[in-house]
Amino acid sequence: MGTGVTSVCQQLALYPWACPALHTLTFGLCPEWDILFITVERRNIFSHQDISKFRSITLPVSIPAALGDHVRNLLRGRRVKRPSNYDLSLVGNARIALDSSLPGCMMCHRQLVACETATYLGQPVETAIKLPSKYPDSETEILATWRGRSSIWHSQVRRLRAQGCYRKNGLLTLTGDGI
Ligand SMILES: [Zn+2]
């Protein structure tokens, strides 16, 4: 769930010349935040002048408002002080996602938003306490090893949580206009 959209981001971050004219992204599921921010920063702040900057990014409407604002600033070409890659990552939030006393579906935990969906009752907690592997320091390494961490996170968290909660539907288009 959601690994396809994160994979698209990762590929765009690694190979910007593959789609140099691309300036609009639409994701029906939220990519993992650390990978999304690395991708947008590389494109809009650090990229070559012949590579088009992103102008609009459409995401599910239920995202943390502060992260949406950071994306808007990046779309204006402003470098933002945002949470660290680790703090935005699945690994950085794994203790919360694997805490069976906290509610929430997988999708909302991935998007870092609150959700009241109950965890699976009767699920022994010890089956879900294995945390994903360590988180790298460098962006290059984060991009190169993203899939392995994501796969461990999903395999662990799906033991505890429903995939989605069927609420807060709809999409939100973020642009650099109006701020
Ligand atoms: Zn949810």
Same domain, yes or no: 10 and 72: yes
Residue 100 lies in a domain: yes
- Say yes or no: 72 and 90 in one domain: no
74 and 7 in one domain? yes
- CA–centroid distance, 107 to ligand 1, in Å, is 6
Residues 121 and 140 in one domain: yes
* pLDDT tens-digit map of 113-122: 999 999 986 6
- How many CB atoms sit inside 10 A of residue 83's CB? 17
Q: What are phi and psi of 173, to 5 degrees?
A: -95, 120
Is residue 60 a part of any domain in this protein?
yes
Q: Assign 126 a pLDDT band (cuts: 50, 70, 90).
A: low
- The total domain count for the chain is 2
Are 44 and 73 found together in one domain?
Answer: yes
Angle between helices 33-44 and 3-14 (to 10 degrees): 30
Which pTM value belongs to this model? Answer: 0.92
Which is more confidently placed, 126 or 97? 97
Question: Would 163 be classed as within a structural domain?
Answer: no
State the Cα–Cα distance between residues 45 and 160, nearest whole angstrom.
Answer: 39
CA end-to-end span of the chain: 33
* Cα 24 to ligand 1 centre (Å): 26
Cα of 72 from ligand 1 centre, angstroms: 24
Same domain, 9 and 61: yes
Closest CA to 107 of 167, 57, 56, 58: 167
> What confidence tens digit (pLDDT) does each residue in 66-95 have?
999 999 999 999 998 999 999 999 999 998
Task: Give yes or no: residues 125 and 152 share one domain.
Answer: yes
Q: How far is the CA of 54 from the centre of ligand 1 (A)?
A: 28
18 & 64 share domain: yes
Q: Residue 31 and residue 20: Cα distance in Å, rounded? A: 20
Rounded distance from Cα 53 to ligand 1 centre (Å)? 32
pLDDT value at 132 more than 80: no
pLDDT bucket at 147, cuts 50 / 70 / 90: very high
Calpha distance 43→54 (Å, rounded):
7
Distance 167 CA to ligand 1 centre (A): 7
Higher pLDDT, 1 or 8: 8
- Where in the sequence is the domain holding 15, given as residue range(s)? 3-78+168-175
Say whether both 122 and 150 belong to one domain: yes
Given this model, what pLDDT does residue 3 score? 75
Mean residue pLDDT of the chain comes to 90
Whether residue 124 has pLDDT greater than 60: no
Closest alpha carbon to 2 in 116, 88, 110:
110
Higher pLDDT, 120 or 169: 120
Query: How far does residue 116's CA lie from ligand 1's centre (Å)?
Result: 7
78 beta partners: none
